[in-house]
Amino acid sequence: MDTHLIALDWGTSSLRAYRLGAAGETLEVRGLPLGVMQLDGSEAGFERALEQACGDWQSAAPQAPMIACGMVGSAQGWREARYIEAPLRADELTLLPIERSHGMPLWLVPGVIQRGGVPNVMRGEETQVFGLLDGDDNQLAPLLIGLPGSHSKWVTVEGGQLSRFQTFMTGEVYQALLGHTILGRTAVTNDSFNAAAFERGLRVARSSEGQAGPLSTIFSSRTLVLTGELSGAAQADYLSGLLIGHELAAMSAMLQVPPSQPIVLIGNSTLCARYLWALEHCGFESLRFAPEATAAGLWKIAAGAGLVATDTAGESDVSQHARH
């Protein structure tokens, strides 16, 4: 049960800490509402949050290295870990050390940038992608990985490389539309899922009317209620289906994805269930869901950077890092 790595998924709103064993297995997990935007931004503030999350782990295993991914490495985080350009492999992520007044350094995983006329970035999702690929780096056939959320990512992996990706702000736009526009005035809060309304939204997004795009179709979530064709309690699920349908249509067109393309979804099981339903509705045939893969990704990145041994017989040598 010895601690070989303390791994942190430090995002905007929350902090999740993992205590990992000799083979990267998860020994303990903690979640705290100590995300980057919940702190005051000071060095002391980040140190206090780190102490609260895993101070006892550090005391019990003072030589265990620490690694963190997510918004903690953004311009609003503890230190800014500059983006690494795609395409790349897990061992090409150059870690940024935060030297601390006491205890081991905290190594930050950089985000990934895709340059071009419309640049794209991610922080944290790259760790999940590489965690999913653990032990399958030599896969030659392209794999499409979807990470639904506030800023949904669609990542193409080829030959173990994160080669390219697209971002869709579907989740955040959904919340903003219901919470801050006239569309929310007719919506009635309802905890149960209305499958028929969700599927209707998917159909509209794929219809001839849907070709006008979401800026045209989202108003239908109000007009269908006003005309009595949709209940207020069903409006949110209709809007969800509509936006996810538009996201999948755009993703398919941009990435030229055939129906036979293998697709893996990572993330919240409830949200991924909606996306799986929508993907099936759109005709995709090879689908599967993978649980959250951050801990596996952090272990893999730490191993590639020399922070931990890659086999139980070896020893970590934290004093020698080729990637700083």
Structure confidence at residue 134 (pLDDT): 62
End-to-end CA distance of the chain: 29
Q: Using one digit for the tens of pLDDT, what is the confidence trace for 32-44?
A: 999 999 999 999 9
How does residue 135 score in pLDDT terms, banded at 50, 70 and 90?
low
Structure confidence at residue 172 (pLDDT): 96
Q: Which among 181, 151, 47 has a CA at the least distance from the CA of 103?
A: 47
Q: Which fold has domain 168-290?
A: Nucleotidyltransferase; domain 5 (3.30.420)
Structure confidence at residue 139 (pLDDT): 58
In the Cβ-directed half-sphere of 275, how many Cα atoms lie within 13 Å? 27
Quote the CA–CA distance of 210 and 144 in Å, as a whole number: 24
Structure confidence at residue 140 (pLDDT): 61
Which residue ranges make up each domain of the chain?
5-120+298-304, 168-290
In the Cβ-directed half-sphere of 256, how many Cα atoms lie within 13 Å? 2
Average pLDDT over residues 44-58: 97
Q: Using one digit for the tens of pLDDT, what is the confidence trace for 4-48?
A: 999 999 999 999 999 999 999 999 999 999 999 999 999 999 999
Average confidence score pLDDT of the chain: 92
Whether the pLDDT of residue 212 is over 50: the answer is yes
Quote the CA–CA distance of 113 and 107 in Å, as a whole number: 19
CATH, domain 5-120+298-304, list 3.40.50.1100, 3.30.420.300, 3.60.21.10, 1.25.40.10: 3.30.420.300
